[in-house]
Amino acid sequence: MILLKSYQNDLQIIPADVCYGHGKCKSAEKKYFLIHADYKLPCFDYQKSEYAGKAMHLKNLDDGRRPDSFLVKGVTSVAIDEKIAENNNYFFLKNVLVLDPIVSEPLATAMQERKLNVRLEPLFNA
């Protein structure tokens, strides 16, 4: 929790209670939190990413339609516009159906150094 606050201050970090299937809540050995971000960044690179309906979406953009008018689904490869994402360390993509957050390399490295149990998949520079 302290690590995330030091990288970005506009996340809501909410303590979570641990309950078992029979409904009784017990103290757990570890603490768990929910992380909520109120915003999504419009930094999805429509040209370099791979996703379902790419040709149709690119045509819509060429025809002047705004990305807010459609939702990208079936993403198999993500590329981001680093100029837009530059100062953000933890965010979600706007207008793209991707459930996992994007985490900056410095934050990912800090998480790994602290051996936090967080699943991270790298985005590679093209």
Give the pTM: 0.75
Structural domain count, the chain: 1
* In a domain? residue 119: no
Tell me, yes or no, whether 27 lies in a domain. Answer: yes
Taking alpha carbons only, the member of 94, 114, 105, 76 closest to residue 40 is 94
Structure tokens at 13: 């970090």
Q: What is the pLDDT of residue 11?
A: 78
Mean pLDDT of 61-67: 95
Within a domain: residue 87?
Answer: yes
Domain hosting 41: range is 2-113
How confident is residue 97, by pLDDT bands cut at 50, 70 and 90? very high
Integer CA distances (angstroms), 87 to 29, 90, 104, in order: 34, 10, 9
- pLDDT at residue 94 tops 50: yes
Check: CB of residue 37 under 8 Å from CB of residue 91.
yes
Beta bridge partner(s), residue 13:
35
The answer to whether residue 123 is domain-embedded is no
